[in-house]
Structure 1
Amino acid sequence: MRLFLGFVLAFVLGLAPGAAFAGWEATEWGMTPEQAQAAMPDLKPVKSGEKMDVGQVKSAGSVMLEGVKGKAELYYGPAGLELVGVKLPAQSCKAVGDAILRQRGKPLVVSDQVLFFLFIWHDEPRQTRIRQMFSPQAGICSVYFERLSTYRDGDLRRAAAKP
């Protein structure tokens, strides 16, 4: 009985979103640029990076994503780290998407946006939304890792609305 309870507890703890596991790679949502750079030494400070609604790029560096070298840009808002964008070579986009598909299963959202394809997965244990944008015509391949709480409800409504 004790062994069974141990397995149940380990399973429940593995499913529960926890701050120590919430984020991307070695980072956690809410980290400052200095904390993220300490967690991932290949990241370097960026003085005046691109701005988006969620924040501004204040860290960047080379990363490996599914065996493909890319450039990560980390966006920080008032509450710290909010989004990580990884730009990859367009010719590797299908292979990266296939690897994410093998790991995460069927995407929650699949959408042909005319100019690009959009795929969205939710990683509940890490409280992370994974969004891949792929445009073979424009040669664009980007994978975004975002704080899930920002997008969960909208994504679930969008997925439920699909026929």
Structure 2
Amino acid sequence: MNEMSIQALALLLALAAGMLLGVIFFGGLWWTVRSGMTARQPALWFIGSMILRTGIVTMGLYFLLSLSGNSWKILLGGLFGFILARLLATRVLPAPLSKVSPTAEPSVGISNLYQRGEKEQGTQETQGAQGAQGAQGMRGGQRAEIAERVGHAP
């Protein structure tokens, strides 16, 4: 084998190694999100998974960098494989939370929530003012009787 084919083979192996590292990283992330959301201590799942996945990828890329020859080209091939695995993971794997929790309506935006909150606050203030006026018109015995029925005895 000549030198050119050896370099091409090394780049292909680096690409495959980068893809393997990407599958480990993004597959682990997908699995962590699916299982971590229902865990008793999700913070431990997410932090532990992040440390483990980052450590594995760092060691793998460091190994690629330590190979003899044009190590920067090999490292670049590994990084390209890692990015390629990310693109494949976002296209192939299902959304991790699609079965765990319901999604919010896309039509409800922040401005809609803000306006809804203002309307509810206005109706509460109006009801409170009406209740205060009504309570002033009642005799003390009637107020106490209504409060007992509602469960708010004075």
TM-score band (shorter)?
A: under 0.3
Q: TM-score, normalised by structure 1?
A: 0.23
Q: Which has the higher helix share?
A: 2
